[in-house]
Amino acid sequence: MASRLPSTMIDPARAVPAPEPPSIGELLAFERLLAELSAGFVNLSATSVDDAITDALRRIVGLLDVDRANLIGFAPQTGETYLTHSWTVDGFASAALRSVSGDFPWAIQRLQAGHPIVFSRLDELPAEAAADEATWRRFGVKANLTVPMTVGGRIEGAIALASFRRERHWPGELVSRLRILAEVFGNALAYKRARESLDSAMKFERLVSEMLAALLTTDRAEDRDRVIEAGLRNMALFLGAERATLWERIGASPEFRKTHRWLAAGVPVPPDQAGGVAIAWINAQIGAGSVVRFASRADLPPEAAADLPALRELGVRSLVIVPLTVAGAVVRALSFATVHEERDWPAALVPRIALLGEVLGSVLARDEAHRREQEARAQAAHATRVGAMGAFAASLAHELTQPLAASLANAETGARLLAAPEPDLDELRATLADIVADERRAGDLVQKLRRFLRRGEVERGELDLREVLEEVLQLVGREAQARGVRLRLEIAEALPKVVGDRVQLQQVVLNLLSNAIDAVATEDRPAREVAVLAGRCGDGVSVEVRDSGAGMDGETLARIFQAFFTTKPKGMGLGLSISRTIVEAHGGTLSADSAPGKGSTFRIELPLRPSRRAA
């Protein structure tokens, strides 16, 4: 019988005489156990696999009348051997679940080579197994059967049966059945590992996608900072880190500065280090696009020695830091650290952290681009606004001169009236009232101009369209008159207020009016008119600027909204393009309708409230 065991080390001369082969009943019971376990393990959740295995071990102990059954695992990365599950009959102390690498050097080697360990008495063990024998003796083991556990063709552990109360024989059928049992266990463990890794990956993906969703629906910079900090916190908790930091590269320099950070409770705030952190080696690695990770400061290579003082000062025990690249350049870095104890950051984490970094990086880069675009747009808008106003400069100067001239005239008249022997007080009062009214009128105009020409932030507010349009008409009215153009304003009753930026919308109307005046002023006909019509349209409002000018052909009409397209000798060709951008930023549309000889109509349609993302 012993000869049927592969590579057995049992000396047949010393073998305990086989008492009896296992009964049919015993074998049937074992078959039933196998079948039940195989079926039962399939529907288990990852967390209940451990309990199921321990329970199976208990049943084996009972069925085979042994005193203890153990499941042993070989950790592939560390090479350690752990006792992962164990069951002991009543009356004996339970086994501690711990590393047993040092206790069974000979046996582990044999098992990893695919051989079972079978002995009926301790003195069957060969001389090489002296250390192992001492351990078994210490634990009180009198007989033992251990078979390797194979998962997907790889030996990942073993199942061990031990007898404390007596020496005993292990039938060959039992050994082969135990191997099958080991396979069932192995599959269950593999399943558990896969589930765990899947769960963890899914949890991670969920965290990242939640954060991304939060970032994409957050407009305000402060809110965004909070979302990022919350994201760092969730990731740090998920990864078991005590400190999570998002870094931004300082210009083109090799150094980084912190932009967002999360600290676990009880983790001290690291001292802020002026002029960046003195970790030149780490910075160089990150700058070159490499990941830096160490479980302990002692793991750092000698070249990194200069970084140690700063790391010590920051209290970093272990660290993983991943560079984030945008268009091939490292612009940010994301780091997770522990400060209380050392810990390993498996390489498998790096792609996840990089994914997280990519999400953060792209959102932040998008913000940055958005901000730059806004700035450029505001500048262009301001330039065209100033340009547009420049065309009206002479008229506006005249408009401003009128009240000033009137009030100067009145002031001097007043002084003369006062100097009379019996001043005419009624006349004086009227004079002063006129002065006040004219000064107010001049002040209003200056204020409107200043507001219009200001290079300012976009300010959203509720606007009365009538007020907005009347102000623009006042600004251009003089010029229109001087050029013989009549302006007609028609506003529907009870027009609802719109939400928008007054100056920007006025700029659009001014631009359209200015174009319309140009279009009709060159016409040689008596009735030169530009009409501004405001009314409701659907859920919003519309403003139309209609001229009776020469109109445009289809080719011109198709190009008027393009930047730098102009039909005017001194035009920049930005007016309509910027106007359209402004209207669209308000969630509206700007369209044109024209035909040669039929004049042109420009139509602005605005929703009452622009969408959230609109700039």
Partner 1 sequence: MTAPADAAGTVFVIDDDASVRRALERKLRTAGFRVETFESAQDYVARGPQAEIACILTDVRMPGMSGLDLQVSLAQAGRALPMVFITGHGDIPTTVRAMKGGAVDFLPKPSSEREILAAVAEALGRSAVIERERRELGSLRARYEALTAREREVLALVAAGLLNKVIGDRLGVAETTIKVHRGRVMEKMGAASLADLVRMSERLGLAPGADPARR
Q: Reduced to 3 states, what is the DSSP secondary structure of residue 319? A: strand
Q: Which is nearer to partner 1, 231 or 403 (CB)?
A: 403
Residue 160: DSSP 8-state:
E
Give the x-and-dash track for 389-428 against partner 1 (CB under 8 A): -----x--xx--xxxxxxxxxx-xx--xx------x--x-
Bridge partners (DSSP) listed for residue 162:
68, 144
DSSP string covering 582-610: HHHHTT-EEEEEE-TTS-EEEEEEE-SS-
Q: Reduced to 3 states, what is the DSSP secondary structure of residue 518? A: helix
Closest distance to partner 1 from the beta carbon of 485 (Å): 10
Neighbouring C-alpha atoms within 13 Å toward the C-beta of 374 = 13
Interface with partner 1 by CB under 8 A: which range of 15-23, 130-138, 350-358, 477-485?
477-485
Q: Which is nearer to partner 1, 406 or 550 (CB)?
A: 406
Structure tokens of 541?
């409002």
Give the start-end residues of each E strand in 317-459: 318-326, 329-338
Q: Which is nearer to partner 1, 17 or 526 (CB)?
A: 526
Closest C-alpha to 340, from 260, 421, 251, 264: 264
Interface with partner 1 by CB under 8 A: which range of 50-58, 232-240, 259-267, 434-442?
434-442
Q: Reduced to 3 states, what is the DSSP secondary structure of residue 563? A: coil
Interface with partner 1 by CB under 8 A: which range of 282-290, 302-310, 432-440, 516-524?
432-440
Pairing of strands 460-463, 329-338: unpaired
Interface with partner 1 by CB under 8 A: which range of 61-69, 83-91, 368-376, 436-444?
436-444
Closest distance to partner 1 from the beta carbon of 478 (Å): 8
Triad 249, 253, 255: Cα angle to 5°: 55
Which of 438, 471, 501, 605 lies at the binding interface for partner 1 (CB under 8 A)? 438
Structure tokens of 440?
């107010």
Q: Which is nearer to partner 1, 271 or 423 (CB)?
A: 423
The separation between the first and the last C-alpha atoms of the chain, rounded to the nearest angstrom, is 85
Asked if residue 481 binds partner 1 (CB under 8 A), the reply is: yes
Cα dist from 243 to 205, 237, 338, whole Å: 20, 9, 6
Closest distance to partner 1 from the beta carbon of 513 (Å): 17
For partner 1, how many residues bind (rule: CB under 8 A)?
Answer: 28
Asked if residue 474 binds partner 1 (CB under 8 A), the reply is: no
Asked if residue 434 binds partner 1 (CB under 8 A), the reply is: yes
Residues 431, 423: contact at Cβ < 8 Å? Answer: no
Give the x-and-dash track for 48-77 against partner 1 (CB under 8 A): ------------------------------
Q: Interface residues for partner 1 in 529-568 (CB under 8 A)? A: none
Q: Which is nearer to partner 1, 307 or 399 (CB)?
A: 399
Q: Interface residues for partner 1 in 441-460 (CB under 8 A)? A: 441
Closest distance to partner 1 from the beta carbon of 416 (Å): 6
Q: Distance between CA 189 and CA 205 in Å, rounded?
A: 24
Closest distance to partner 1 from the beta carbon of 368 (Å): 47
Q: Which is nearer to partner 1, 103 or 479 (CB)?
A: 479
Q: Interface residues for partner 1 in 298-337 (CB under 8 A)? A: none
Which of 431, 515, 579, 581 lies at the binding interface for partner 1 (CB under 8 A)? 431
Residue 128 backbone phi and psi in degrees, to 5: -60, -20
Closest distance to partner 1 from the beta carbon of 444 (Å): 13
Closest distance to partner 1 from the beta carbon of 405 (Å): 4
Closest distance to partner 1 from the beta carbon of 328 (Å): 58
Q: Distance between CA 548 and CA 531 in Å, rounded?
A: 9
Residues 107, 129: contact at Cβ < 8 Å? Answer: yes
Helices and strands: H and E segment counts in the chain: 15, 17
Residues 590, 602: contact at Cβ < 8 Å? Answer: yes
Closest distance to partner 1 from the beta carbon of 431 (Å): 6
Q: Distance between CA 137 and CA 195 in Å, rounded?
A: 39
Interface with partner 1 by CB under 8 A: which range of 104-112, 164-172, 243-251, 478-486?
478-486
Q: Distance between CA 85 and CA 186 in Å, rounded?
A: 12
Q: What is the binding site for partner 1 (CB under 8 A)?
A: 394, 397-398, 401-410, 412-413, 416-417, 424, 427, 430-431, 434, 437-438, 441, 481-482, 484
